[in-house]
A and B are shown apart, each in its own frame.
Chain A
Amino acid sequence: MSPWLIGFSVFFGYPLVMSAYLSFNHYDLLSPPRWVGLANYRYMFHTDPQFWTSVKNTVIWMVGIAVPLQVVFAFGVATAVARIKSGAGFFRTIYYLPALAPPVAATLGFVYILNPATGPVNTILGHLGISGPLWFQDPHWSKPSLIMLSLWGIGNTMVIFLAAVLDVPQHLYESAELDGAGPFQRLRWVTLPTISPVILFAVVLGVIQGLQYFTQAYVAAGVAAGQASQAADVTSVSLGYPLDSTLFYPVLLYEHGFSDFQMGYAAALAMLLLAVSFAVTLVIVLNSRRWVHQAVTR
């Protein structure tokens, strides 16, 4: 226990306190920290032109749109798999595989498949007479492309949902059927309430992951920007490419902290992330009583 306590204080407790301290300082790693009070926070909310962009991108897209889509999609697939008699294991494996693909590899694959000129998707769309969008090259399509990538990787959530759906006691369905409930009513009034704790778990996890969404955005922007500069020979800043449309909050934090080494400002961004993820988890868990059904416990 005690080695853990040491490690814990060094790698978790100390950084939390230090992060709070640094957020009130100007610090560039070279000269000692200089106390600036709330200046970092003022700059964040009032001046930083990219701050609100990154907040909007993260909150609206990666939390507001991506998480519900992921949960609904995973639930739909899980119930569909649960309903079939044979071959469920086969389908489960197929749906789980993409979740295994290392994020960098998966992102590279998607940037290639969705590359506007020669990518397979636009080629197929072209054969159907549709001229495909520019995907990762278009500020309007880059976030939908990333969401497609995230939907491809719902395997974990799907497996958890599937186990929960298969755990629903069969007699509940039978009595519902006797009461004249059709398949959709059974889904709504039996399956959903019984597995709601698992759905809550998936939502909390999804929101937390949405808030720390980094790797895919960073890699997609970098590769897409490299591709564009090769084609048109324009030097562009790759973070957030195109036009800050993939500038998510963690990307902004990375840019300030580890590309510009504005450690004080990055610490302030980290403190806000800490507060928000804490608050979000608390709100979801506290409100869960209203809609999570907990009759089936062991």
Chain B
Amino acid sequence: MTAATAAAALVRRRPPARVRRKRLLLVVANHAVLIAVAIGFLAPFVFITLTALMTNDQALSSNFWPHPFRLQNFVDVFSKAPLLRWTLNTMLYSCVATLGVVLSSVPVAYALARLRWRGRNLAFIVVLVALMLPPQVTVVPLYVMWAKFHPFGFNFIGTLWPVIIPNWFGDAFSIFLLRQFFLTIPEEYLDAARVDGCGELRILATVVTRLAKPAIAAVALFSFLYTFNDFFLPLLYVGTNPHNWVLSIGLSQFRSFHQVQWNLTMAATLLVMAPVIVLFFLAQRAFVEGVTLTGVKG
């Protein structure tokens, strides 16, 4: 009996050679797959970068390696297309919209998570529905609304304001993410503040925002990215007015703009990708936390 248990323990500690070989094989296969997929995932970046450094003739040849390296491309794109103008428009859209999303979504999320009021559950369901619905469902009447709305003779079509303003009235995704996070804040903190005579607004402004910094950072980050990448809505409202184009629209029209070549197109593509990727490395933790927050608890 004891011999049998001892043998069993021994087996558990050192599996037979056949099993060990099989395990090693699995580990090797696993790594092989991971590395192959990683190469596949990096390859597009590599090709885009290499082409961005080529002369136009090379970009049209079948050589992969730029010879000579042409860094001038990154200067040329600014003279061939109003890249700076597009960047400024994008920053206007992204920054003003992100500020609006954060300022308007935090109070709503707090009310949904922490305050008791009639219709709270209904309001939460409405947020979920708004989260599920494709933006295409509401664009037609919204466009009509902005097209027919001329305060003081100001024409909204052709400007970015119809895309920016709705963000100041809460964004379903941000409200949802923040609410999930606010639910995890222990009630005791809030009660302590209430005992000290804090009103709900002050609790929100001091206690909650401080505790929820990671979630708020994630919301701001996602909102910035979403607006930076947004193509559909700007296309509807400023598509016909090149003066107000954002980067995503400008880039999509880049090739037809001046019959520009692939090397310059890829240089511009890289320049548009760069800020996002830099932002990612600066705020990697907030990213991953944000993504998992939406997924696991959702």
Contact = CB atoms under 8 A, between A and B. Distances in A.
Interface of A: 1, 3-4, 6-8, 10-12, 14-16, 18-19, 22, 27, 29, 77, 80-81, 83-84, 91-98, 100-110, 112-113, 115, 118, 120, 123, 126, 152, 156, 159-160, 163-164, 167, 183, 198, 201-202, 204, 208, 211-212, 214-215, 218-219, 222-223, 226-227, 230, 250, 253-254, 257-258, 263, 266-267, 270-271, 273-274, 277-278, 281
Interface stretch (B72-80, B128-136, B187-195): B128-136
Contacts of A6: 169
A104 B139 contact: no
Given A3-B104, A80-B34, A258-B143, A110 B44 contact: yes
B248 interface: yes
Interface of A is mostly: helix
A297 to B, nearest CB: 11
Given A1-B107, A226-B255, A97 B44 contact: no
Nearest to B231: A215
Contacts of B287: 96
B241 interface: no
B265 A112 contact: yes
15 contacts: A4-B170, A8-B169, A18-B145, A22-B141, A22-B144, A100-B276, A101-B273, A159-B292, A214-B231, A223-B255, A257-B143, A267-B140, A273-B134, A277-B132, A277-B134
Given A7-B166, A201-B295, 18 more contacts: A19-B138, A22-B144, A80-B33, A98-B44, A102-B276, A109-B47, A109-B48, A109-B269, A113-B44, A115-B262, A123-B64, A159-B291, A160-B294, A212-B136, A257-B139, A257-B140, A257-B143, A270-B140
Nearest to A223: B255
Contacts of A29: 144, 147
Interface of B is mostly: helix
B277 A152 contact: no
B142 A263 contact: no
B37 A95 contact: yes
Contact of A102 (B43, B144, B273): B273
B169 A10 contact: yes
A113 B269 CA distance: 13
Contacts of A106: 44, 273
A1 B272 contact: no
A143 B172 CA distance: 31
Contacts of B51: 112
A273 B62 CA distance: 44
Contacts of B132: 204, 208, 277-278, 281
A267 B259 contact: no
B93 interface: no
A237 B134 CA distance: 26
A77 B31 CA distance: 11
The interface centre, meaning the residue of A18, A109, A250, A274 with most chain B CB atoms within 10 A of its CB, is: A109
B124 to A, nearest CB: 12
Nearest to B35: A91
B288 interface: yes
Nearest to B38: A94
The interface centre, meaning the residue of A4, A29, A164, A271 with most chain B CB atoms within 10 A of its CB, is: A4
A27 B42 CA distance: 48
The interface centre, meaning the residue of A105, A112, A164, A183 with most chain B CB atoms within 10 A of its CB, is: A105
Contacts of A258: 143, 235-236, 239
Contact of B272 (A7, A102, A156): A102
The 9 tightest CB contacts between A and B, nearest first, are A7-B169, A160-B295, A18-B141, A212-B134, A15-B138, A15-B141, A163-B292, A215-B231, A123-B62
Contacts of A101: 273, 276-277
B69 interface: no
Contacts of A83: 27, 30
B161 interface: no
A266 B298 contact: no
Interface in B238-287: 239, 247-249, 251-252, 254-256, 259, 262, 265-266, 269-270, 272-273, 276-277, 280, 284, 287
